[in-house]
Amino acid sequence: VKVGGRQSYRFFTPSMNERAAARRRIEAELRQAMARNQLSLFYQPKVDATDGRIVGAEVLLRWYGPDGTERYPPEQFIAVAEDVGLIVPVGAWVLREACRQGDVWHQQEMGVPIAVNVSPLQFQHASFLAELEAVLADCSLDPALLELELTERTVMAGGDATIALLQRIKRCGVRLSLDDFGTGYCSLSYLKHFPVDALKIDRAFVRDVETDANTAAITQAIIAMARSLGKTVVAEGVENEAQAEYLRAAGCEQLQGFLYGAPMDANAFGKLLTEQHLL
Ligand code: C2E
Ligand code: CA
Ligand code: CA
Ligand code: CA
């Protein structure tokens, strides 16, 4: 920041103060929002690449104010929650609420695996496994209908204890997937040690897959390798038919993105499940 001398130091100071103030404001508001039950979960379909059937959903956290408008975008308030440690209670709430809702659909015999994002801090927190076991014990959801999405960063940061923890989580019967695959530090050779069921190819690859030869080559290699290791491959951020067609031809099994449905509230997703169930 100070490379430009005093001038740039003076230039950056106010904006840094403003950012710190904004973070403190978001933190205080977030505590209130939790207490007032103003956080909610949206669901985005994952579809079978060959027949378009809904084969799962990703749970995405939302924060709407009492006036019905979005209070802060998820990237922004989740980053603050991670910084100040609030992601631990927030994440525990997300897990519990996702399982409650997943259980409702499961009871109606239209359950699909519900995937919950887990932050690094939440995953590394000493209470995570106990929390997961408690949530599963408190509902009748089939654990196979719960999936945890962990980023490469999360699993790589945990060190030696990580694989043991992943194995204990697997023993609960839940599914595990590696999120944002290809963007992090996860060398392909590590992958065989991780007891994960699925890989999610990051949106950055999907965006350019049919227009950039290098992206296409990397994406094909990821899909081929994942499949040879017996992992399900999911592509995220699929926005057009050309991308879908390319990924399908390359052997990607599940697709997720605006082409198939934006994240929607539980009512809207339940309607989609009902329609599919009646077909
Ligand atoms: P992510 O896990 O990579 O989630 C996918 C993001 O891509 C979501 O953004 C989703 O709305 C967006 N998306 C889906 N399809 C498309 C598409 O076709 N095109 C484009 N451009 N975007 C698409 P969202 O909901 O804003 O969430 C952003 C990030 O916030 C997530 O990235 C995840 O890292 C984090 N997040 C969201 N909910 C939770 C949560 O409950 N817990 C934790 N720990 N993190 C969460
Ligand atoms: Ca995710
Ligand atoms: Ca992702
Ligand atoms: Ca992401």
Give the pLDDT confidence of 164-184 residue by residue, as tens digits.
Answer: 999 999 999 999 999 999 887
The mean of the pLDDT values for the chain is 93
Would you tell me how many other CB atoms lie within 10 Å of the CB of residue 30?
Answer: 23
The complex's ipTM works out to 0.97
Would you tell me how many other CB atoms lie within 10 Å of the CB of residue 170?
Answer: 15
Residue with tokens 């690094």: 120
Ligand 2 centroid to residue 59 C-alpha, Å: 8
Q: Is 82 in the pocket of ligand 1 (CB under 6 A)?
A: no
Give the pLDDT confidence of 239-274 residue by residue, as tens digits.
Answer: 999 999 999 999 999 999 999 999 999 999 999 999
C-beta separation of 244 from 238 below 8 A = yes
Q: Which residue CA neighbors atom 32 of ligand 1 most closely? A: 75
| Ligand 1 atom having least distance to the Cα of 259 | 18
Ligand 3 centroid to residue 203 C-alpha, Å: 7
The structure's pTM equals 0.94
Q: Is 75 in the pocket of ligand 1 (CB under 6 A)?
A: yes
Ligand 4 centroid to residue 262 C-alpha, Å: 15
C-beta separation of 217 from 199 below 8 A = no
Q: How far is CA 72 from CA 185, 244, 264, in A?
A: 29, 31, 17
Q: Is 263 in the pocket of ligand 1 (CB under 6 A)?
A: yes
